[in-house]
Chains A and B, each alone.
Chain A
Amino acid sequence: MSNMSKSECGSHGGFFAASGASGSNEGPSQGGTAPFLKAPRSRARIEPIIPCCVNQLLTASLVDDVFKVRGIVVSQVSIVGIIRKAERAPNYILYKIDDMTTKPIDARHWLGRSKAKQELAPCPVGVYAKVLGILRGSAEVRILEVLQIRVLEDMNELTAHILETVNAHMMLAKGQEEAYGQSAPATPPEAAQAPEPREVRPQVIQADVLRLIRECPHQEGKSVRELQADLGSLSIKAIKDALEYLMVEGHIYPTVDGQHFKSAD
């Protein structure tokens, strides 16, 4: 196998998020939470990169065009695996990445029009690489759209990725559980609620919930109960769905007991 330098195969200093704006370069893996990508456009949007294993990506549920792993939205993800195959086509390079958790996943790296990109050599087969990408596909077929692929120079990044994946999914699951686990007993079953919950688009509910959280002056933040009182005609499920969305998107975070939320913006 030839000794290709990092810059020759598939990776560049920056990379482009789906929005078309440039993001920061991801350095060697640290422990702890997943790094955040910030797109510099007029409406700031924080999209987390969730470290995953391939099996999570291939078994993620798909509802309304949104992939979820154990209820957690996964869009921009990172994986670490061995490149089993690298096929060069005129406009893209198609990789198969194997991280041992299941069969290899297809990862397609679209090449731009610039001559430099056209001449890009594929990453070598049989080595470990870290891939940042966006999960795409259907219920049956999944593909990772590559934002950045980089051969690992330090194999400790493999270990770090495994630990980061468990940590990230555990923390995200804990966040959900704390928010929703204990609040059920006090609220009456939805069928018995007097007014019919109004059918409102999720984006409107999310905006209302976020506004109320931001407006709340309390140190400990806005509680789920207060939101229910303020948004009387909405079902508890609609409010909880909105809270989950806002948490995953990074706009709010749970405070004292997971029943109170503050704005992260």
Chain B
Amino acid sequence: MMVEVMELPKSRINASMLAQSIDRPVCFVGRLEKIHPTGKMFILSDGEGKSATIELMEPLDEEISGIVEVVGRVTAKATIMCSSYVQFKEDNHPFDLGLYNEAVKIIHEFPQFFPLGVMQYD
């Protein structure tokens, strides 16, 4: 369910981690590379230059560009079904996506110091 994803713990991942995250709620930050003409899909590249495909239930209703943070669930095809997104403003400071990628790797290397919540099943 899309609405539930808001309340669930979401793992910050990069594209290399998509395959191990099938069906899980995730948070993906990347640079916009391409938007599909239908507006229901776009491609983001992560700090390692690898791509992730983001799918939307409804077409985009605004222009997006630059760094985008997507929250959603990983599909069986290793795409992300987006439930919400936020654009990172870069007016004053460019976002260092490479450094963010390092932070993502560190979260996964030291989960005891940046723990992800346990999913509650009703």
Contact = CB atoms under 8 A, between A and B. Distances in A.
Interface of A: 53, 55-56, 58-59, 70, 82, 84, 98, 100-104, 126-128, 153-156, 158-159, 162-163, 165-166, 169-170, 173
Interface in B92-122: 92-93, 95-96, 99-100, 102-103, 106-107, 110, 112-117
Contact of A153 (B6, B11, B93, B110): B93
Given A100-B10, A159-B103, A82 B86 contact: yes
A107 to B, nearest CB: 16
Contacts of A154: 92-93
Interface string B76-88: 0000000000101
Interface residues of B, number: 31
Contact of B9 (A100, A158, A173): A100
Interface of B: 6-12, 27, 67, 71, 86, 88-90, 92-93, 95-96, 99-100, 102-103, 106-107, 110, 112-117
7 contacts: A55-B116, A100-B10, A155-B67, A155-B90, A156-B93, A156-B96, A169-B113
Prevailing SS type, chain B contact patch: loop
A103 B112 CA distance: 18
A10 to B, nearest CB: 18
A126 B86 contact: yes
A159 B106 contact: no
A24 B110 CA distance: 31
Contact of A101 (B71, B110, B117): B117
Nearest to A127: B86
B99 A156 contact: yes
B103 A162 contact: yes
